[in-house]
Structure 1
Amino acid sequence: MPDEAQPKAAGLDPEQLWLRSDEPRRGRRPSFSREAITAAAVAVADAEGLDAVTMRRVAAEVGAGVMSLYSYAPDKDTLLELMVDHITAELAATDPPTGDWRADLKALAHLQRAHMLRHPWLPAALATRRSPGPHTLAVLEHALAVLRPSGLAGGAKIEVFAQLTAFVAGHTGYEIAQARTAEAPGRAEAEARYLLAVASDGRHPELLEALTTAGPSPTTPEATFTRFLGRLIDGLDTAG
């Protein structure tokens, strides 16, 4: 039986993964599909987190034997690739670019954030993915079209989109973690008191000034994200 903990030496074969038909690799055809398996894995991850997704658990969810599941996804790494691309279909762009690439890029980032909040396991999963599937490539194609008016070269446009996605994943992953931590009563207030006490010890004048100087008013997480996003996109240098 394939070992979930041991990655294959040669890694994933993207051609084998994405360009073949939705058929099992070996054995007789079962009564379920790769899409059904992937959807079941996504449902488990959404409800219980990525650690709850195992080949045995997903097999039980679709009513199959675990060995037949390996015909579609030989290991958890492959299943994760399928899961990420499956939910990326939610980001399918229907509106063409407006020509204002900065505004369009911000709109795409907000869609990505909402997408990651719906699937809290996604930011961590993106850090280990290697192979873009068809839905992921469709979003990349849209992003490149958005960036066409920027004048950036093709490689630079891909880098910008990668940078944007990394920012959204990092910020949203932190946002999700902070929301969970904030559930502890009084945690935020205790942290604020601690920082102010440290800043007032005479050894952290810059921190004291930053904490006591008026800054942005308390805002919603979305407003904070919008502010940070603006600093990132408005400051992009298109000369290189």
Structure 2
Amino acid sequence: MPGNRTRGQRAGLTRQSVLEAALALADREGLKALSMRRLGAELGVEAMTLYHHVASKDALLDGLVEQVFAEVAPPRFQAASWRADLRDYADALLTALLAHPHVVPLVVSRPATTPRNLQAMENALASLRTAGFPLDRALDVLYAISGFVVGHVAAEADPARRDDRRTATDHLHPLLDLDPDEFPLLTAAARTERPRSGADSRFDFALEAMLAGFDAARRTES
């Protein structure tokens, strides 16, 4: 009955709307600006009202990680196209993380173990097993790809830059300033980068190497 609704429900809030507002605030002003009081003010309610939807500040932070991963389509890997499917998943996760650079430290430090994320992992494991991976290796593949993408973004992403992909040679600038007499190989490598270079190139190279390794392991263990 209407009279039994909580204050948060009367305010038109849901857990999802709270998390969306929290993510928008973190994107705009960084994690230091995110408090229950500030978030409540953003939503036009008292801070205590938020606890009807998120049990604690930790639960709110876990929800932010969930929100970022939720932007990636739930991974479904088909037997005939699992390599392309994994590549698409890695690219989608990369894009989602780069869209929310202030939240990347949370993704690095907090396991994505909300029920929503766990169900996505469960579904991904099922489809990887269908693609021919033993169950334990399927989990290894999922962790390896996710960990690789998160680690790459943590090393490369700059919260001050909002574009989806990095400028090709940004990461090489320190190498270009080195003394070529002291570091001949580093400076030569930096100066002979191919047109599509830098962080994008390294990401794609490493991802393709990982996929080739997964395929070799799958063939050996199947």
Give the TM-score of the pair, scaled to structure 1: 0.70
Q: Give the partner amino acid of 1:209.
A: L
Q: Give the partner amino acid of 1:230.
A: E
Equivalent of 1:114 in 77, 90, 95: 95
Q: Give the partner amino acid of 2:18.
A: I
Query: 1:192 maps to which residue?
Result: 175
Equivalent of 1:51 in 32, 45, 64: 32
Query: 1:231 maps to which residue?
Result: 209
User: For 1:18-57, what aligned pairs fall within 5 Å after superposition?
Assistant: 30-31=10-11, 32-57=13-38
Residue 188 (structure 1) shift: 6.5
Query: 1:212 maps to which residue?
Result: 188
Residue 62 (structure 1) shift: 0.7
Residue 58 (structure 1) shift: 0.6
Alpha-carbon contact 1:99-1:146 (below 8 Å) kept: no
Pair 49,135 (structure 1): closer, same or farther in 2 beyond 3 Å:
same
Moved more, 82-91 or 53-62: 82-91
1:60-117 Cα offsets, whole Å, 9 max, x none, are 1111111222333233211011222234332234876252322221111011111112
Residue 145 (structure 1) shift: 4.1
| Percent identity of equivalent pairs | 29
Q: How many residues align?
A: 204
Q: Give the partner amino acid of 2:109.
A: T
List runs of 5+ in structure 1 lacking aligned partners: 1-22, 181-186, 202-206
Query: 1:135 maps to which residue?
Result: 116
Distance in 1 (CA, whole Å) between partners of 2:75 and 2:146 is 19
More helix by share: 2
1:192-239 Cα offsets, whole Å, 9 max, x none, are 3443x1x633xxxxx633542586504264444222211222223334
1:104-160 Cα offsets, whole Å, 9 max, x none, are 211110111111122223432122323523432343244324422554321221122
1:138-197 Cα offsets, whole Å, 9 max, x none, are 4324432442255432122112211111110111222213975xxxxxx878623443x1
